Amino acid sequence: MSSAASRPTAGPFDRGHTDDLMAFLAASPSPYHAVANAAERLEKAGFRRVEETAAWDATGGGKYVVRGGAIIAWYVPEGAAAHTPYRIVGAHTDSPNLRVKPRPDMGSQGWRQVAVEVYGGTLLNTWLDRDLGLAGRLTLRDGSHRLVNVDRPLLRVPQLAIHLDRQANDGLKLDRQRHMQPVWGIGDVHEGDLISFVAAEAGVDAEDVSGWDLMVHAVEAPAYLGRDRELLAGPRMDNLLSVHAATAALASLAGRDDLPYIPVLAAFDHEENGSEADTGAQGPLLGNVLERSVYARGGSYEDRARAFAGTVCLSSDTGHAVHPNYAERHDPTHHPRVNGGPILKVNVNQRYATDGSGRAVFAAACEKAGVPWQSFVSNNDMPCGTTIGPITAARHGISTVDIGVAILSMHSARELCGAQDPFLLANALVAFLEG
């Protein structure tokens, strides 16, 4: 662990960053909303959207590409050579949740319900007995999309009363198909009711809706927690905490034409189910953007190879803080603590991409920002999760380092982190992107 002070001695972010994170979490109930909100923040910093179907020019400055629930943004300093390496912060916009099926209207015993499918490795019990909203995007007949966010109590997955399941406290067993379908009213079931309702909420005609990507979310707002408000509770920290920090870090560098690298934000969708999508880290999106940026500036394949060889990516995702009630589940010599600064994630079997060289890059960035940091490694008897880090390293041949913020209740509908850690991470990312 670094011996630096608990607050950064350099960098643009303080506790106000955490306040802003809370607003970002609340406004981003789906990957599509997260991307729209990140794009809006980048636009305010002077970035402009470019279309993948258009020809790209050699102009510098900030640019970004949106594809579904993914966004790639980068800033080209004035006069940057075609072979200028990139500094990338990678993250993901999706979180485990419940997602609406193609035929959503269902019911039983006089209850009207919504048919949902479990997305990712969610903690199912955390979705029980919560007030749930509904959000996502509608696809219209002309191919356009409309975001929708019903951010009020609409749905609920009711748990069986303990009187009818006396063993519930000895080991709750939930059937993903039978037990996770939320209720949203009473009466007869009519096909098309849900989409008609959602279309009206979005201000469009239900007849114009030809597709949808909808998901439920807990409507309880993010909140500080604890006697001294030193903790932060909220939804989707895995991994909107990193998306927010990386967006803020990149936006802070707009106008910096003294940078030795091209700073990049790469926020992918579908990490929670393997990244195998055109908007996922397994897809070609990042590589295409980086290559087209080289070629737009007049570069050759040789310039592309030189740029990639000098590129470093920080894969920023949440990790496990030591749990006070389950300390034995953690490695006995690695106990990351909340508000202890970002974590360096290591796994020798390449579930994380970090090696010794990457450690040195991350340590240098934290030292420059005056940010403490910690190391994380899994208990040898526990299977280790993974991230976009190894995928990015293998797919693009880019040196990659896995980092993040230590949290509790990962993959819960409501997670917990230290209130200082988000701005400590953001300051470390600025130092890294600056080089």
CA distances from 215 to 62, 70, 101, 200, 321 (A): 32, 17, 9, 17, 28
Q: What confidence score (pLDDT) does residue 5 get?
A: 46
Phi/psi of residue 208, each to 5°?
A: -90, -10
As a whole number of angstroms, the distance between CA 37 and CA 25 comes to 10
As a whole number of angstroms, the distance between CA 96 and CA 320 comes to 16
As a whole number of angstroms, the distance between CA 5 and CA 371 comes to 7
As a whole number of angstroms, the distance between CA 209 and CA 291 comes to 36
Listed residue (400, 403, 392, 410) closest to 425, CA to CA? 403
> Could you tell me the two tokens for 324?
């006070």
Q: Are 329 and 380 in contact (CB under 8 A)?
A: no
Contacts of 12 (CB under 8 A, 6+ apart): 252, 427, 430
Listed residue (157, 319, 155, 313) closest to 237, CA to CA? 319
> Could you tell me the two tokens for 56?
């790209």
**β-strands 399-404, 312-316: how paired?**
parallel
CA distances from 209 to 32, 100, 104, 148, 182 (A): 17, 15, 14, 12, 23
Q: What confidence score (pLDDT) does residue 3 get?
A: 42
Tokens 């993040």 map to which residue?
404
As a whole number of angstroms, the distance between CA 162 and CA 149 comes to 33
As a whole number of angstroms, the distance between CA 6 and CA 420 comes to 9
pTM of the model: 0.96
As a whole number of angstroms, the distance between CA 198 and CA 16 comes to 34
Q: Give per-10-residue mean pLDDT for the chain (435 aa).
A: 56 91 98 98 98 95 98 97 98 98 97 98 97 98 97 97 93 95 97 98 97 98 96 98 98 96 98 95 97 97 98 98 95 95 96 95 97 95 92 96 98 98 98 95
